[in-house]
């Protein structure tokens, strides 16, 4: 049997659309006995590289195996502690934010940064709508995130600013698009690839009844190579693997101090002799980032109960 490999672009309840380098994706299924240890339909994620048997039909195929993943954007499911993979093998998490209209939302940006880092993706921040903001509004945001070591791109979708650099950044990469609605994600995609007919932001996240499907993410092959992934579930993402105990490891400027506190497992909020709070007082950590950390920490479940407070 000849086997080959492909990339899962999209899935429905029982079918997987797999890119094998042909013009159209192959419609693949899984033989039910292949994944016996857990429900197979939860195991193959969008972005997975899979080994296939394509010998049976011209346009279809069988998924034989999931190849090892180098990254995964995953969230903790609503019901409890199980992990739900939104996207596998993405290289970049593109965090799109507007400088104005809507105002820059640092809490969400910092949350998405953590989600990307926790999944082993490289975060890139796109500050869009630069045409609506003054240099004095843009520069501090750019400086903050570049100072933390992250790549920041400035764009205006309507004025076609910064598009070449962004297009280049997407090339030959698998990129997940994220950011609050209204910041200009679909406008950017349209401006980058005017002839490309996809609709960003229309992936249906609802669990449907009957013949309807659960679509967590959809991946598109970019015109110049690479993939773009649209996933609505990322906005209110409770990233898998992020806990109150390890959250400080995902805020890079906290990491030099987190082991210097008097108490092991310090929350960096109420404890005495906290090196993080000392660094904050000395201006080594910015107040806005510290506030993001605290808000995120508060939203995470206590170690004992499975769920965050207030849900």
How near is the Cβ of 234 to ligand GDP at its closest, in Å?
A: 12
Q: How far is the CB of 271 from Zn ion (least distance, A)?
A: 6
Q: How far is the CB of 74 from ligand GDP (least distance, A)?
A: 23
- Under 8 Å between Cβ of 137 and 128: no
In the bound state with Zn ion, the residue whose beta carbon lies nearer, of 266 and 285, is: 266
Spatial CA neighbour of 6 closest among 49, 42, 45: 49
Using rule CB under 6 A, residue 34 touches ligand GDP: no
Cβ(188)–Cβ(166) below 8 Å: yes
Name the packing angle between helices 287-299 and 106-118 (round to 10°). 70
Among 87, 124, 126, 274, binds Zn ion (CB under 5 A): 274
Cis amide prior to 102 (ω within 30 degrees): yes
Query: What is d(CA 46, CA 91) in angstroms, rounded to the nearest whole number?
Result: 13
Residue 90 φ then ψ, to 5°: -75, 145
Among 114, 121, 242, 276, binds Zn ion (CB under 5 A): 276
- Residue 221 near residue 227 (C-beta atoms within 8 A): yes
Count of alpha carbons within 13 angstroms of residue 55, beta-carbon side: 6
Residue 132 in the binding site for ligand GDP (CB under 6 A): yes
First to last CA, the chain: 51
Q: Which does 276 bind (CB under 5 to 8 A by kind): ligand GDP, Zn ion, none?
A: Zn ion
Q: Of ligand GDP, Zn ion, none, which one sits near residue 268, judging by CB under 5 to 8 A according to partner kind?
A: Zn ion
Binding letters toward ligand GDP, positions 270-309, x by CB under 6 A:
----------------------------------------
Pick the stretch among 79-87, 201-209, 260-268, 301-309 that binds Zn ion (CB under 5 A).
Answer: 260-268
261 binds Zn ion (CB under 5 A): yes
List residues binding ligand GDP (CB under 6 A): 128-129, 131-132, 156-158, 181-187, 200-201
Which spans of this chain sit near Zn ion (rule: CB under 5 A)? 261, 266, 268, 274, 276
């Amino acid at each position: 049997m000849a086997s080959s490999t492909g990339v899962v672009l999209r899935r429905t309840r029982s079918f997987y659309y797999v890119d094998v380098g042909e013009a159209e994706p192959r419609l693949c299924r899984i033989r039910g006995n292949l994944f016996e240890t857990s429900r197979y339909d939860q195991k193959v994620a969008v972005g997975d590289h899979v080994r296939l048997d394509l010998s049976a039909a011209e346009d279809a195929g069988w998924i034989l195996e999931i190849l090892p993943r180098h990254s995964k954007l995953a969230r903790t499911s609503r019901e409890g502690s199980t992990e739900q993979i939104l996207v596998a093998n993405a290289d970049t998490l593109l965090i799109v934010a507007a400088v104005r209209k809507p105002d820059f939302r640092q809490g969400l940006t910092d949350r998405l940064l953590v989600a990307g880092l926790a999944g082993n993706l490289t975060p890139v921040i796109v500050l869009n709508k630069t045409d609506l903001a003054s240099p004095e509004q843009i520069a501090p945001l750019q400086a903050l995130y570049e100072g933390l070591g992250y790549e920041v791109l400035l764009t205006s979708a309507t004025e076609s600013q910064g598009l070449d650099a962004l297009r280049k950044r997407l090339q030959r990469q698998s990129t997940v698009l994220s950011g609050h609605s209204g910041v200009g994600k679909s406008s950017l995609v349209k401006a980058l690839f005017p002839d490309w007919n996809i609709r960003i932001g229309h992936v249906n996240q609802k669990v449907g009844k009957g013949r309807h499907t659960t679509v967590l993410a959809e991946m598109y092959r970019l015109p110049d190579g690479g993939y773009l992934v649209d996933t609505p579930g990322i906005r209110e993402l409770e990233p898998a693997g992020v806990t109150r105990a390890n959250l400080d490891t995902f805020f890079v400027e906290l990491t030099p101090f987190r082991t210097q506190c008097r108490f092991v497992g310090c929350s960096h909020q109420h404890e005495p002799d906290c090196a993080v709070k000392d660094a904050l007082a000395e201006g080594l950590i910015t107040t806005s980032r510290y506030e993001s950390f605290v808000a995120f920490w508060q939203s995470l479940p206590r170690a004992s109960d499975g769920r965050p407070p207030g849900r």
